[in-house]
A and B are shown apart, each in its own frame.
Chain A
Amino acid sequence: MDFSFTEEQQMIRDTAEAFLAEVSSSEAVRAAMVTEQGYDDAVWQRITSEMYWQAIHIPEEYGGMGLGYIELAAMLEQMGRYLLCSPFYATVCLASNALLVAGSEEQKAEYLTKICEGKLTATLAYTGANGQWDANAVELLASKEGEAYQLNGTLRYVPDGHTADLLIVAARTPGSEGEQGISLFAIPADTAGIDRQWSPTMDQTRKQAEIHFNQVSVADMALMGEEGNAWPELAKIIQLATVAVAAEQMGGAQQILDATVAYTKERVQFGRPVAGFQAVKHQAADMMLKAEVSRSAVYYAACVAEEALHGGDLADQLAEAASVAKAYCSDAYFQNTATAIQLHGGVGFTWEYDVHLYFKRAKSSEIFLGNGAYHREKVAQLILD
Chain B
Amino acid sequence: MQLSFSPEDEKFRAEVAAWLQGNLNGEFEQLKFRGGPGDEHMFPEERLKWEQKLAEGGWTCVGWPKENGGRGCSIEQQVIFFEEYARAGAPGRVGHIGEGLAGPTIIAFGSEQQKQKYLPGIVSGTELWCQGYSEPSAGSDLANVKTKARFDEAKGKWIINGQKVWTSLAHESDYVFVIARTDPDSLAHKGLGFFLMKMDQPGIEVRGIEQITGTSEFNEVFFDDAECEADDIVGAPGEGWKVAMGLLGFERGVSTLGQQMQFQNELDEIIKLAKDNGAARDPVIRQRIADAHIGLKIMRYNSMRMLSGGDGGSLQKEALIYKLYWSTWHRDLGELAMDVLGPEAEMLESGPYQLTRLQSMYLFVRSDTIYGGTNEIQRNIIAERGLGMPKEPRVKL
Given known pairs A3-B305, A285-B378, A296-B305, the reply for A303 and B1 (CB within 8 Å) is yes
Judged by a CB distance under 8 angstroms, whether B32 is at the interface is no
Judged by a CB distance under 8 angstroms, whether B387 is at the interface is yes
B 282-321 binary contact with A (CB < 8 Å = 1; else 0): 0100110111011101100110110111111000011011
Chain B residues closer than 8 Å to A6, beta-carbon distance: 1
Among B76, B271, B290, B305, which residue has the most Cβ atoms of chain A within 10 A? B290
Given known pairs A288-B382, A379-B290, A380-B287, the reply for A299 and B305 (CB within 8 Å) is yes
Chain B residues closer than 8 Å to A10, beta-carbon distance: 311-312
Tell me the smallest distance from the CB of B288 to a CB of chain A, in Å: 9
Q: Which of A1, A3, A5, A373 is the one whose CB lies under 8 Å from B287?
A: A373
B298 x A377 contact (CB < 8 A): no
B325 x A293 contact (CB < 8 A): yes
B389 x A284 contact (CB < 8 A): yes
Judged by a CB distance under 8 angstroms, whether A167 is at the interface is no
Bound-state CA distance A280–B383 (Å) is 9
B2 x A1 contact (CB < 8 A): yes
Judged by a CB distance under 8 angstroms, whether B66 is at the interface is no
A296 x B301 contact (CB < 8 A): yes
Judged by a CB distance under 8 angstroms, whether A4 is at the interface is yes
Tell me the smallest distance from the CB of A260 to a CB of chain B, in Å: 9
A285 x B390 contact (CB < 8 A): no
Which label, helix, strand, loop or mixed, suits the secondary structure of the A interface? Answer: helix
Tell me the smallest distance from the CB of A241 to a CB of chain B, in Å: 19
Tell me the smallest distance from the CB of A9 to a CB of chain B, in Å: 7
Bound-state CA distance A365–B158 (Å) is 63
Chain A residues closer than 8 Å to B324, beta-carbon distance: 285, 289
A288 x B317 contact (CB < 8 A): yes
Bound-state CA distance A286–B309 (Å) is 22
Chain A residues closer than 8 Å to B5, beta-carbon distance: 1
Bound-state CA distance A349–B376 (Å) is 29
A2 x B1 contact (CB < 8 A): yes
Q: Which of B76, B290, B378 is the one whose CB lies under 8 Å from A377?
A: B290
**Which chain A residue has the least Cβ–Cβ distance from B75?**
A1
B301 x A286 contact (CB < 8 A): no
A285 x B298 contact (CB < 8 A): no
Q: Which of B2, B307, B321 is the one whose CB lies under 8 Å from A289?
A: B321
Interface residues of A in 50-75 (CB under 8 A from B): 70
Q: Which of B1, B297, B378, B386 is the one whose CB lies under 8 Å from A299?
A: B1
List the one stretch of A32-40, A115-123, A268-276 in contact with chain B: A268-276
Chain B residues closer than 8 Å to A385, beta-carbon distance: 280
Judged by a CB distance under 8 angstroms, whether A264 is at the interface is yes
Q: Which of A272, A278, A293, A328 is the one whose CB lies under 8 Å from B321?
A: A293
Bound-state CA distance A10–B314 (Å) is 13
Judged by a CB distance under 8 angstroms, whether A44 is at the interface is no
Bound-state CA distance A314–B5 (Å) is 12
Tell me the smallest distance from the CB of B316 to a CB of chain A, in Å: 9
Judged by a CB distance under 8 angstroms, whether A18 is at the interface is no
Chain A residues closer than 8 Å to B291, beta-carbon distance: 327, 376
A4 x B325 contact (CB < 8 A): no
B 1-31 binary contact with A (CB < 8 Å = 1; else 0): 1111100010000000000000000000000
B383 x A284 contact (CB < 8 A): yes
Chain B residues closer than 8 Å to A275, beta-carbon distance: 389-390
Judged by a CB distance under 8 angstroms, whether B274 is at the interface is yes
Among A280, A282, A289, A385, which residue has the most Cβ atoms of chain B within 10 A? A289
Q: Which of A261, A373, A383 is the one whose CB lies under 8 Å from B289?
A: A383
Given known pairs A4-B310, A324-B297, A384-B274, the reply for A292 and B317 (CB within 8 Å) is yes
Chain A residues closer than 8 Å to B207, beta-carbon distance: none
Judged by a CB distance under 8 angstroms, whether B379 is at the interface is yes
Among B3, B304, B305, B384, which residue has the most Cβ atoms of chain A within 10 A? B3
B305 x A4 contact (CB < 8 A): yes
Given known pairs A4-B310, A261-B388, A384-B280, the reply for A289 and B1 (CB within 8 Å) is no
A2 x B287 contact (CB < 8 A): no
Bound-state CA distance A328–B295 (Å) is 8
Q: Which of A4, A282, A292 is the one whose CB lies under 8 Å from B376?
A: A282
**Which chain A residue has the least Cβ–Cβ distance from B324?**
A289
Judged by a CB distance under 8 angstroms, whether B380 is at the interface is yes
Tell me the smallest distance from the CB of A376 to a CB of chain B, in Å: 4
Judged by a CB distance under 8 angstroms, whether A46 is at the interface is no
Among B379, B380, B393, which residue has the most Cβ atoms of chain A within 10 A? B379
A296 x B1 contact (CB < 8 A): no
B389 x A384 contact (CB < 8 A): no
Judged by a CB distance under 8 angstroms, whether A281 is at the interface is yes
Chain B residues closer than 8 Å to A105, beta-carbon distance: none
Given known pairs A285-B379, A288-B321, A289-B321, the reply for A4 and B298 (CB within 8 Å) is no
Judged by a CB distance under 8 angstroms, whether B392 is at the interface is yes
Judged by a CB distance under 8 angstroms, whether A295 is at the interface is yes
Tell me the smallest distance from the CB of B183 to a CB of chain A, in Å: 31
B 38-55 binary contact with A (CB < 8 Å = 1; else 0): 000000000000000000
Judged by a CB distance under 8 angstroms, whether B358 is at the interface is no
Among B311, B325, B382, which residue has the most Cβ atoms of chain A within 10 A? B382
A4 x B293 contact (CB < 8 A): no
B389 x A276 contact (CB < 8 A): yes
B271 x A4 contact (CB < 8 A): no
B307 x A377 contact (CB < 8 A): no
**Which chain B residue has the least Cβ–Cβ distance from A4?**
B308
Tell me the smallest distance from the CB of B271 to a CB of chain A, in Å: 6
A278 x B380 contact (CB < 8 A): yes
Chain A residues closer than 8 Å to B286, beta-carbon distance: 376-377, 380, 384
B4 x A1 contact (CB < 8 A): yes
A380 x B290 contact (CB < 8 A): yes
**Which chain B residue has the least Cβ–Cβ distance from A280?**
B389
Chain A residues closer than 8 Å to B386, beta-carbon distance: 285, 288
Bound-state CA distance A280–B387 (Å) is 12
Residues of B within 8 A of A (CB): 1-5, 9, 76, 79, 271, 274-275, 280, 283, 286-287, 289-291, 293-295, 297-298, 301-302, 304-305, 307-312, 317-318, 320-321, 324-325, 376, 378-380, 382-384, 386-390, 392-393
Known: A2-B308, A282-B380, A377-B283. 18 other contacts (CB 8 A): A3-B2, A4-B1, A4-B309, A4-B310, A264-B389, A281-B383, A281-B387, A281-B389, A285-B379, A285-B380, A292-B320, A300-B301, A303-B1, A314-B4, A323-B294, A376-B291, A384-B271, A384-B286
Residues of A within 8 A of B (CB): 1-6, 9-10, 70, 257, 261, 264-265, 272-273, 275-276, 278, 280-282, 284-286, 288-289, 292-293, 295-297, 299-300, 302-303, 312-314, 320, 323-324, 327-328, 373, 376-377, 379-380, 383-385
Closest 8 CB pairs of A and B: A281-B383, A276-B390, A285-B379, A285-B382, A376-B290, A296-B302, A3-B304, A300-B301
What would be 6 A-B contacts, judged by CB atoms less than 8 Å apart? A3-B305, A9-B1, A10-B312, A288-B386, A292-B317, A293-B321
